[in-house]
A and B are shown apart, each in its own frame.
Chain A
Amino acid sequence: MMRNFYNLLQKGFFVVWLVTVCQVAVAQQRDITGVVMSTEGEILPGATVSVKGTTIGATTSADGKFLLKIPADAQTLVASYIGYQLLEMPVGAKTYFEFKLEADISSLNEVVVIGYGEVKKSDLTGAVTTVSPKDFNSGVVLSPAQLLQGRVAGLTISKAGGDPTQGSSIQLRGPSTLGTQTSPLFVIDGVPGASLDLIAPEDIVSMDVARDAASTAIYGTRAANGVIFVKTRRGKAGQTTINYHVYGGLEKVAKDYDMASTDEVRAYLTSKGKSFTVADDDNANTNWQKVITQDSYSQNHNLSFGGGNENSHYQASFSYFDRPGVVKTSGYNRTMGRLALDHNMFNNKVRLGATISNSVSNGTPVNYKAFEQALRYLPVTNVYEADGKYSENTARPFYFNPLAILEQNTETYKTSVLLGTAQLGVTLLPGLTFDAIGTVQRDITERALYQSVNSTYARVNNSNFNSGFGAQNYTTFQNKILELFLGYSKTFGIHDLRLTAGYSFQQDNYKGLQAVTNGYISDDLGVEGYLAANPSTSFTAYLTGNAGDDYRNFYPKSNSQNRLVSYYGRAIYTLSDKYILQAVLRRDGSSRFGENNKWGFFPAVSAAWKLSSENFMQDLSLLSDLKLRVGWGVSGNQGLNPYQSLVRYGRTTGAVFVNGAWTSSYSQVQNANPDLKWETTTTLNAGIDFSLWQNRVTGSIDIYNKNTKDMLFLYNVPSPPYPVNTIFANAGEMVNKGIEVAMTGNVINKEKFKWSVSLNLAHNKNEVKSLSNNLFSKTEDLGLGYGGSDPGLQGASFQTTQVLRPGLAVGTFYMYEYAGIDANGNRLYYNKNGEAVSKVDNKQDDYRILGSALPKFTYGLTQNFNYGSFGLTLFFRGVSGNKIFNAMAANLDRLADASSINVSKAALAGGYTGTPFYSSYYLENGSYLRLDNVTLSYKIPQFVNALKNATVYFATQNVFTITKFSGVDPELDYSGRFPGIVGVGKNGINPTYYRTRSFTLGLNVTF
């Protein structure tokens, strides 16, 4: 492979040399001028005018004008501009040309990024969806991922709750891994895996979501979850453009739990001959959920400007985003700056680019256990004691003042990300280009956790006696990427050939240190007072933790390095602009893989047939465009940490008493697995793109079969012979099958009034085929305990809610089925014989398969109305056919304990006095339909000449949600081994942070 590659290179350079020699004689030239505008007369600066079949061209200046030297034999000029149809004009003897471009509604001529190159949308052979700024969700938007939410069929972006410090989870075409790496690969301006934190939503020009392996295989072992190509704003020739976007948002808790008030609980207790204890009873009526929440005011500013002359362009932007959370003490803010420079030399034959960007984000996450406590803490108790201290009742286990948890356990982090990219593009000879992209990214994260010396919560959970607890860590991450690739394109007659071949190198380095102490003598200095503490700081290995725990963010990567080296090639062959054939091959080598499996091959082939270009289709006036696509490809997921294939030794927890003294000891903690490798996903995709009635209706339909094997999983192995009784290995198989439909219709397209509708709908069916390979077998995984499917309901340890089993979908609920109540009001459950009984033994034999947490359908619906200068967008999205297990509802259903922990109104109404356990009584319909966004905008008339555009808008997010789910919000993370469970904050499954409803007023002006 490598030798061939060298040969290819050598030949390439030989050709370059030859051609340059032959091109010495320059043909005669003449000057022409002209202007490019829209059919409506709007000047189009930055449009391209070129001589057809050559690389000779120019871009228009701010007034839409261009000047071009053309060869005497030039035949045809072509003008192009994004969003407009190409226009050709014969040259003849004219010297002045006026191009009037027609807006391209079909957008088929838009270019789509396909990795190491671009193609016209109409030439795509795979399933790719482009989302451009006009489709973006407006409102308080944290990350670019949120802009895509509900916009792409098959791409499920969900965010459980409104935590400002947490991102969204992204899943493409159902779960294809049981691991944690479920997010697609983001390729930002050609840089794979660059940080999304560096991109302000305003700086994005387009996002192309590649969904099938035919489109993603070029990114090999990282592409199984799809690839999203992000293109950002770059400067254009012409007058400087200045854009300022500002908005302010008000966020409120959209919904909270319906908890009983003091009077209701007291009335219930009295009726049962019970009462509150003296220690609790302050005769208060505290709404603890109100106590821990607040209204939040967020703001965003983005200022950008760009411009340049014919050869040099620049674009700079600066943005600030601040979003306090609706839960007290939580919040997030981010400051970003970005500068992009481009320079063209030698008649555009050499293209240089440089980008530098920096972001600094600060976050204060909260401990999710506060949510459980806000529900359980008795309303009869005041927030504070008479002496101003937080109320606490230490005699009761698992019972803490929720406000104290928030205010006495503070966590902060500060991440700064610096990215520099240099790009070089050279046209070596007509059709042959060489590109180099080099990137260095450096992240520095500082985290601190401080627990007050007075924190009861910290004392009980961390056994630190009034001495507080402080942890600080400092992590650096450095990522180096080099991409080198050659592109060649040639048209001969009806044949068109495009070749790409390249090499990619990536190296990531992590390094971090942490120090902790618990010897604080007062809160005066906070976490920084570690030198005053006794003992003062000691270095420790990293604390481990899970999201939502005390140390949720305190699990940075330990010191490590990993490398990814790749060779890739792609060929696209087009015949008569009707038949397109594409083949891709990538070879990836990753240091994370085991000794025997360092390198993997990822091939893909796909084809498309532009049916509407066939002569026999020309008579069908109804159909303006029709294309059939089919593709097959292999992609991988390398979602594993470095060093997982090696034998590792670790210090045993606790010393041992050997030969009369306490000493340390070491043991093997990881089995060797030299066969460890990537997860392999093979996708077969077939699709149809169509456009009807002169592009009034456009759409596409895709069906797919996605098969993942060699899933990475922690297997139980017998010990002995294995020294450690688990091994991280590849085994098992999972299939996702589905269909995706996307349609856009311009229902009314009058000059004054426009109405368009976009709909996307996806159906996915997931099935686990196997959890075994020839070495390791697993019949099922019930996921007991930490990180499993037991949400940590008190008194229900070692019961399960879900099962992972061949033949069933991921997220299949597996528990007792509720069978109503008997004459005495006792709850009944079905046993294995189908009888409804009140006494159950918690034996698996009785459990039933009760539906899945994965939605059958996900959909989004956008309605755009334009009347004159007014615009109105309504955006609905939702899922259906899934279930949610509401462990929180079970946790609040403890009437027997009503004197010591609060209960829900539903529990009072239900009157159940037994101990809640996992059954379908708490299993709820998870379908929802949400009016996610309503935006009303007004385009301010051009009242000064310099003003190019000014729009003011008012947006409301999460307007309403129609659902049967009784919890705070039905939108949950659908990834992971056991999705769709609302936990109580134990066993790693958390309650949801309150979802917000936001009201945003924004202004967007361009000069």
Chain B
Amino acid sequence: MKKKLYTGILSGCLLLSVMGCNDLSEVDPSNLSGNNFPTPNNPATYSLLAGDVFSQLRPLVKNWNSYWELVNTCTDEMVIPTRAGDWGDGNMWRNMHLHEWTKTQNNVGDVWNVGYVGIGKCNLVLKVFEGVSESDQKKIIVAQIRTIRALFYYFMMEVYGNIPIVTNFDETTPPANTARTNVWNFLVKELTEITPILPLEVNANTYGMPTQWMAKTLLAKLYLNAKVYTGEEKWTEAIAACDDVINSSKYVLNPDYMSIFASGNGPSTKEIIFAIPMDVSFNAAELTFWQRVLPGATANKFRLPTTPWNGHCTLPEFYALYNDPNDQRNAQWLVGKQTARYKKINGQYVDVPEYTLQVNGADMVITPEIPWGKGDAVNPFNVGNTPEGLNAGVRNVKYYPEANSINNSSNNDFVVFRYADILLMKAEAEARKANNAALALPAINALRTVRGAAPLATATFQTILDERGREFAWELWRRNDLIRFGQWGGKWGINPGKPDSHLLLFPIPQTAINANPNLKQNPGYN
């Protein structure tokens, strides 16, 4: 009897003792979470968070669905034809070329995400920095992060126009669109306010980060295109912004055009105003330029670690701009019969006598002409996978492939703003202000001389556009330039020309509208 009683008491105690284990709170043992990061008594944790803002710039030019591809494949300087089964990609590249992009197309959504994730990160870091005590250093880093945010907003406004603006991290209402004019006003005000706080020095410490000159260049872009963005001309302001950069005497044109972009470009490249640094060994490299562009067999020519995918090329009409045989800028194009001095044997490239590269049993001869429709009776965008189709289209090697690199990413820093742009922007603004294209001729010829091309005798506005085309091929500005020069919707490749004005903007991606009911679609895309 007593035994039973004790048993009962014991089981009761057992029952009571385990009831204490009802704690259901969670602490992630291996990851930083909101309750332990950033740590107020460890300032280093704040700068770790700030650095993230800069890393978000790389996806703008990343491997896949980048801003770089969005603004270039819709122009005459870049096309990614379907080559039999390759590069069909749901007709995305065809849509870009024909100006038939859709609001559900992947790159339209991805670019939006890259931009707005970047803006969100800037807002988060600015919010976190509110908790840090005031200092000069804090003022500078806050101004730099606001400049990066302005750059993201600029790119978003450039392609989507009427975009939502959020500057306060704690704002939780999904934001509505802001008219493009007001986005422009916001950016001009923001940049004017923060520029004086930014660093004046141009050196290794400020490389890849906003300086006063980087902000002025962005302002110059805003003023030069003000007519497009707001309907109002701002030529005087554009000239003034460019003059500030010129008068700083921090920058010069690089005597060697190709070295601006080559692997090893960096703080010592005096033409670069703002670049996105890349370094494969720090896993900081989303630029897979040659992997996407070059024909497969050229791996042997450049000693590449992987077989390139044979994608992007230029249109023959754009390549025709390169009409001076002495122009240094011709070196950025890969054309004609391709030979190699290396061969991969047992996984190592070894030197061999020069031989001609082969494509499906034929010599590799890259041609400017593109045999539209050869690969598919019903799809003119398909050039097929005969040697003719595979070799079609001149390739750009501006970001020149580095031999024996670790992987298919590049060490070349991606150049966003450079001094040649300042010089040509100023020349164009002066010409437009006076409505006299000839005023741009001295600046154009000065640039041409450095690039090894013969000076021109006369200049029209077309001359300015063509020179910008030659100078900035496959950078970030062809779409911007064509729109400003009124040549958007022109006829190139198999695009018959599409004058519809709504095509001046991309649609707001459907995924963004699904996620945010306060957003309105751009006109013409509903």
Contacts and interface: CB of A to CB of B under 8 A. Distances in A.
Question: Do A and B share a complex?
Answer: yes
B457 interface: no
A291 B407 CA distance: 32
Tell which of B11, B377, B407 has the most Cβ of chain A within 10 Å.
B11
Contact residues of A: prevailing secondary structure: loop
B511 A664 contact: no
Contacts of B4: 16-17, 20, 428
Tell which of B23, B33, B346 has the most Cβ of chain A within 10 Å.
B33
B375 A896 contact: yes
B307 A13 contact: no
A233 to B, nearest CB: 29
A725 to B, nearest CB: 6
B22 interface: yes
Interface in A19-61: 20-21, 24
A896 B88 CA distance: 15
Given A657-B207, A720-B171, A795 B515 contact: no
Contacts of B33: 643, 646-649
A721 interface: yes
Given A460-B307, A591-B24, A13 B12 contact: yes
A136 to B, nearest CB: 37
Interface stretch (B45-53, B181-189, B463-471, B484-492): B45-53
A665 B51 contact: yes
A841 B166 CA distance: 36
B52 A657 contact: no
A167 B4 CA distance: 47
B37 interface: yes
Contacts of A642: 26, 28
A771 B204 CA distance: 50
Contact of A20 (B5, B86, B91, B346): B5
A60 to B, nearest CB: 29
Contacts of B92: 798
Contacts of B91: 841-842
Nearest to B23: A563
A777 B517 contact: yes
Interface in B88-115: 88-92, 95, 100, 102, 104-106, 113
Contact of A395 (B31, B34, B86, B307): B307
Tell which of A436, A723, A776 has the most Cβ of chain B within 10 Å.
A723
Interface in A760-786: 776-779, 782, 784-785
A946 interface: no
A657 B32 contact: no
Given A13-B8, A720-B166, A914-B378, A784 B106 contact: yes
Contacts of B320: none
A434 interface: yes
Contact of B28 (A482, A560, A896): A560
Contact of A798 (B22, B89, B379, B382): B89
A503 interface: yes
Interface stretch (B211-219, B249-257, B276-284): B276-284
A350 B306 CA distance: 71
B1 A558 contact: no
Given A436-B11, A654-B285, A660 B204 contact: yes
Interface stretch (A238-246, A571-579, A666-674): A666-674
A899 interface: yes
A720 B169 contact: yes
Interface string B122-151: 011000000000000000000000000000
A590 B346 CA distance: 56
Interface stretch (B13-21, B220-228, B436-444): B13-21
Contacts of A690: none
B18 A648 contact: no
A555 interface: no
Tell which of A662, A666, A724 has the most Cβ of chain B within 10 Å.
A666
B284 A796 contact: no
Interface stretch (B66-74, B172-180, B240-248): B172-180
Interface string A670-692: 00100000000000000000000
A794 B516 contact: no
Nearest to B4: A20
B55 interface: yes
A654 B283 contact: yes
Contact of B515 (A718, A798, A916): A718
B344 interface: yes
Interface string A261-282: 0000000000000010110000
B378 A662 contact: no
A718 B173 CA distance: 10
B14 A643 contact: no
A843 to B, nearest CB: 7
Nearest to A276: B361
A716 B515 contact: yes
A503 B18 contact: yes
B515 A16 contact: no
A489 to B, nearest CB: 19
Contacts, number: 307
A565 B100 contact: no
Contacts of B472: none
Contacts of A484: 14-15, 18
B406 interface: yes
B353 interface: no
Interface string B359-379: 011000000000000011111
B479 interface: no
A396 B208 contact: no
B322 interface: no
Given A460-B307, A503-B18, A719-B117, A665 B54 contact: yes
Contact of B205 (A565, A655, A659): A659
Nearest to A669: B31
Contact of A397 (B19, B84, B309): B309
Contacts of B514: 716, 777-779
B85 A894 contact: yes
Tell which of B86, B175, B515 has the most Cβ of chain A within 10 Å.
B515
Given A797-B88, A798-B106, A565 B283 contact: no
Contact of B120 (A394, A505, A720): A720
A654 B58 contact: yes
Contact of B26 (A277, A428, A646, A916): A646
B169 to A, nearest CB: 7
Contacts of B282: 654-655, 662
Contacts of A715: 515
Contact of A899 (B267, B360, B378): B360
Contact of B34 (A598, A647, A650, A785): A647
B385 interface: yes
B509 to A, nearest CB: 10
Contact of A915 (B24, B95, B376): B376
B14 A436 contact: yes
A779 to B, nearest CB: 6
Nearest to B172: A721
Given A428-B8, A643-B31, A654-B58, A668 B208 contact: no
Contact of A16 (B8, B50, B58, B283): B8
B8 A465 contact: no
A656 B284 contact: yes
8 contacts: A17-B4, A484-B18, A653-B283, A660-B203, A663-B48, A666-B45, A723-B124, A723-B169
Given A656-B284, A664-B48, 6 more contacts: A395-B307, A649-B34, A715-B515, A838-B378, A841-B95, A897-B84
Interface of A: 2, 9, 13, 16-17, 20-21, 24, 275, 277-278, 394-397, 426, 428, 434, 436, 454, 459-460, 463, 465-466, 482, 484, 503, 505, 507, 558-563, 565, 589-593, 598, 642-643, 645-650, 652-660, 662-668, 672, 715-725, 776-779, 782, 784-785, 794-799, 824, 826, 838-839, 841-844, 894, 896-897, 899-900, 914-917
CB-CB nearest 9 A-B residue pairs: A665-B51, A647-B34, A798-B90, A795-B85, A463-B407, A654-B284, A657-B277, A667-B52, A718-B516
